[in-house]
């Protein structure tokens, strides 16, 4: 996962946290706070004995190619060093990345109305730039490249339900230019990292910002859960700025052994194809406002019974939204399995991302059914 500083241009990969588009005009999709992630504790979870919310490497730090005096040699983030001295607002080392955890409420499908912050669960982390030899006084070397406790919810307070993790950059600070990559996990009061979905589910709410993956890894990962209640609906998945790739790439939506969720009435039925369209950087895709009704075209495998796939080259969709549209059949049923893999997806949609070059940017993903946002899995 990742978030940009507000002075990082939208075309650099963050459609939500950036105040401006590449041309300097305002970004209509700019929001503060920028991202929300569910930290869902199911009934019967081992976390009900006490839960710890942890974030990996929550500070923004760029070693800048000059090494790092800290213990772990963090080079994953990007921090603008600037040239205007320590008072320059754009300096990434002056950034604030804030993580705030809200208690579950009575409207679990709407995350913007959660208003009770868990006691002690409001943390802000500052930045460092080795290239400029500058860091904020609150920067802590010992938090680099390691799991950091945002807060602990003790056994007398923890409950089953959806805790909402709210993330923003530059909260009550100068607008800065940086990219901060991080991850989220849960740990029991006894120190055990939970890995089962029966104990914890972490997923994006509405939209999520994904950090670039390693060159050559070609991952397959869950992207959205399509329950049977959505039969007969229209699903749209949107990706922002996907083509900073150095060479060529393809994105394919996969799942069942035959290649794609949602499946038809049974796992052996033909995969469902999609349509694709491209939108510019001034559209309000995430707010689903004032969007054109047309512009849809065939994907890269348009033949009937094929999967939904998009092939593209370096820079082809830079600073653009790519949308995939699926019409879910009226008789849609989830495939077999629990969602552990694309071969046994259950109700989960998977994405296969294949890149021949090196990725140099990150992306924002969003999904909506009939215009209403749904959960995403990073």
**pLDDT at residue 75 above 80?**
no
Q: How confident is the model at residue 172 (pLDDT cuts 50, 70, 90)?
A: low
Indicate if the pLDDT at residue 87 is higher than 90.
no
Percentage of the chain beyond pLDDT 70 is 83
pLDDT at 328: 83
Evaluate whether 189 touches 332 at the Cβ level (below 8 Å): no
Q: How far is CA 116 from CA 121, 149, 200, in A?
A: 10, 19, 21
The winner for highest mean pLDDT among 94-108, 253-267, 268-282, 328-342 is: 94-108
pLDDT of residue 125: 93
CB atoms within 10 A of CB 315: 11
| The pLDDT of residue 255 | 56
Residues 80 and 177: their CA atoms lie apart, in Å, by: 6
| pLDDT given at position 116 | 97
How do beta strands 127-129 and 60-62 pair? parallel
The per-residue pLDDT for 174 is 67
Residue 87 C-alpha from the chain's centroid: 31
The two three-digit tokens of residue 295, written as one number: 């512009």
What value does the mean pLDDT take over residues 346-358? 81
Backbone φ/ψ region at 326: left (φ over 0), alpha (ψ -120 to 50), beta:
beta
The predicted pLDDT at position 71 comes to 41
Q: What pLDDT is attached to residue 272? A: 60
What pLDDT does residue 223 have? Answer: 85
CA 107 remoteness from chain centre: 22
Question: What's residue 362's pLDDT?
Answer: 79
**Average per-residue pLDDT in the chain?**
83
pTM of the model: 0.88
Tell me: the pLDDT tens digits for 48-71? Answer: 999 999 999 999 887 554 434 444
Q: pLDDT by residue (tens digit) across 231-280?
A: 889 999 999 998 888 788 899 887 543 334 444 334 444 456 789 999 99
Domain boundaries of the chain, sorted by first residue: 2-205, 214-376
Cross-sheet strand order for the sheet of 2-4 = 2-4, 178-181, 78-79
For residue 94, what pLDDT is reported? Answer: 81
pLDDT of residue 204 exceeding 60: yes
171 band by pLDDT with thresholds 50, 70 and 90? low
Which of the two residues, 192 and 216, has the higher pLDDT score? Answer: 192
The answer to whether residue 335 scores a pLDDT higher than 70 is yes
């Amino acid at each position: 996962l990742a978030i940009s500083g507000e002075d990082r241009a939208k075309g650099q990969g963050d459609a939500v946290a950036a105040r401006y588009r590449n041309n300097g005009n305002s970004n209509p999709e700019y929001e503060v706070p920028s991202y929300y992630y569910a930290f869902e504790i199911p009934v019967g979870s081992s976390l009900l004995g006490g839960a710890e919310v942890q974030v990996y490497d929550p500070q923004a730090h760029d070693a800048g190619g000059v090494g790092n005096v800290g213990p772990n040699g963090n080079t994953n983030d990007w921090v603008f060093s600037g040239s205007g001295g320590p008072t320059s607002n754009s300096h990434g080392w002056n950034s604030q990345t804030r993580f705030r955890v809200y208690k579950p409420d009575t409207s679990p499908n709407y995350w913007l109305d959660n208003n009770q912050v868990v006691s002690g669960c409001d943390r802000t982390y500052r930045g460092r730039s080795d290239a400029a030899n500058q860091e904020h006084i609150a920067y802590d070397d010992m938090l680099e490249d390691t799991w950091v406790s945002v807060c602990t919810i003790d056994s007398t307070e923890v409950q089953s339900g959806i805790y909402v993790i709210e993330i923003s950059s530059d909260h009550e600070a100068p607008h800065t230019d940086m990219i901060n990559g991080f991850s989220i996990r849960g740990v029991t009061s006894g120190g055990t990292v939970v890995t089962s979905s029966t104990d914890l589910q972490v997923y994006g709410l509405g939209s999520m910002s994904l950090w670039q993956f390693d060159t050559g890894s070609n991952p397959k990962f869950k992207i959205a859960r399509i329950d049977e209640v959505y039969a007969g609906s229209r699903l749209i998945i949107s990706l922002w700025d996907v083509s900073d790739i150095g060479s060529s790439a393809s994105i394919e939506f996969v799942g069942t052994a035959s290649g794609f969720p949602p499946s038809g009435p049974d796992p052996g039925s033909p995969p469902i194809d999609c349509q694709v369209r491209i939108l510019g950087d001034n559209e309000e895709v995430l707010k689903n406002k004032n969007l054109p009704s047309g512009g849809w075209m065939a994907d890269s495998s348009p033949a009937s019974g094929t999967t939904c796939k998009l092939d593209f080259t370096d820079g082809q969709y830079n600073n653009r939204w790519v949308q995939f549209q699926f019409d879910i059949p009226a008789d849609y049923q989830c495939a077999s399995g629990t969602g552990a893999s694309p071969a046994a997806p259950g109700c989960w949609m998977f994405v296969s991302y294949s890149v021949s070059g090196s990725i140099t940017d990150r992306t924002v993903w969003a999904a909506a059914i009939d215009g209403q946002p749904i959960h995403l899995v990073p």
